[in-house]
Structure 1
Amino acid sequence: MASTETLKEIYIDEVRDLWSANDQMQRVMKTLGQQASDKKLKDLLEKSVSGIGRHTETLKSVLEAQGGRVRKEHCKGMEGLVEEAKTHAAEHDLDGPLRDLVIISQYQRMSHYGLAGFGTAAAYASALGLKDDATKLKSIVKDIYNADDYSTELAQRAEKAAA
């Protein structure tokens, strides 16, 4: 990133990166959802896939509103997290409850990455006086926190079942 960039340019780059991160996470969530054995975990992952899609549409609308080219920039950070998820959850021969625990762990890693990105983008939007953008992005942060809290509950239940 060049030092001559403005906060708005950095903000637009962040939104483009989040779009790519969302697309990558959405694809792997579909796969992990098919491999989960717990009904509540399957439901969470299915809801996450559709939620990520809605969040991506919000990102596209934010880019349009700010005059940025409506395109994504490949997110290497999420690429690494997706590869980890595939390696640990999708490609290991684990029994149901243990696989579910690994899926939850990988889901939370990717979600926390999203929290950092969306939280930062919301802060940038606020700093730029983009109230509508900030509100939309903060709403996404809230959605991710809620899903994260629920996935922690599922992990606690699955941990007991696996013990």
Structure 2
Amino acid sequence: MTTLKDLYIEELQDLWSANDQMSGVVSSMADKASDSKLADRLNTAKDGIGKHIDLLKSLLEDAGAEVQKEHCKGMEGLVSEARKHALDSDMSGAALDVAIIAQYQRLCHYGIAGFGTTKAFAEALELDDAATKLDGALDKIYGSDDFMTDLAERSRNLEAKA
């Protein structure tokens, strides 16, 4: 890598891998959630992750880059932690839901950092269409994160405490 465009392409490839890894664990978390709103939101998020993967592939094509993933070790670690602290735990009910929410939000925050960085690169490269599309993806991730915060604060944390 020697240019900002190289960094932009590598970030797109890394995000593709991150989203691909995230998709599997989000699906597993949806299956284990006891709260129907949480399960529904996780299933909706999984669909959104698929759309983000399609977007990343499209942006790689638009940039004239190889349409391939670059394995994301950061997401690999977060997925491992999500499995350990939520999916492979002995918790159930509201306590498990709280753990799922916490792990999901960690995954989202990683995505926010990645998509935000990539958007900034696109803006600097004057790839206005790409920046707009990445901003749309960011809005969806922020919305999902906000929903999870609200769900945790208004119901699941309170029930887990009881």
Common fold: TM-score over 0.5: yes
Of 59, 65, 77, which aligns to 1:68? 65
1:97 and 2:94 correspond: yes
Question: Which runs of structure 2 are paired with 1:22-37 in the superposition (5 Å)?
Answer: 22-37=19-34
1:159 and 2:157 correspond: yes
Structure 1 unmatched ranges of 5 or more? none
State the shift of 1:153 in Å. 0.8
Structure 1: which amino acid aligns with 2:107?
M
1:13 and 2:10 correspond: yes
| 1:97-140 CA distance string (max 9 Å, x none) | 00000000000000000000000000000000000000000100
**Equivalents in 2 of 1:59, 1:83: separation in Å?**
23
In the TM superposition, structure 1's runs of 4+ consecutive aligned residues that sit over 6 Å from their partners are none
**Equivalents in 1 of 2:95, 2:76: separation in Å?**
24
TM-score normalised by length of structure 2: 0.98
Aligned to 1:144: 141
1:88 and 2:95 correspond: no
State the shift of 1:30 in Å. 0.6
RMSD across aligned positions (CA): 0.6
> Aligned residues: percent identity?
52
SS of match in other structure, 2:111: helix
**Equivalents in 2 of 1:111, 1:80: separation in Å?**
14
**Equivalents in 2 of 1:95, 1:114: separation in Å?**
27
**Equivalents in 2 of 1:95, 1:132: separation in Å?**
44
State the shift of 1:80 in Å. 0.1
1:47 and 2:51 correspond: no
State the shift of 1:162 in Å. 1.5
SS of match in other structure, 1:129: coil
Structure 2 unmatched ranges of 5 or more? none
State the shift of 1:90 in Å. 0.4
State the shift of 1:62 in Å. 0.1
**Equivalents in 2 of 1:110, 1:94: separation in Å?**
20
Aligned to 2:120: 123
| Aligned pairs, number | 160
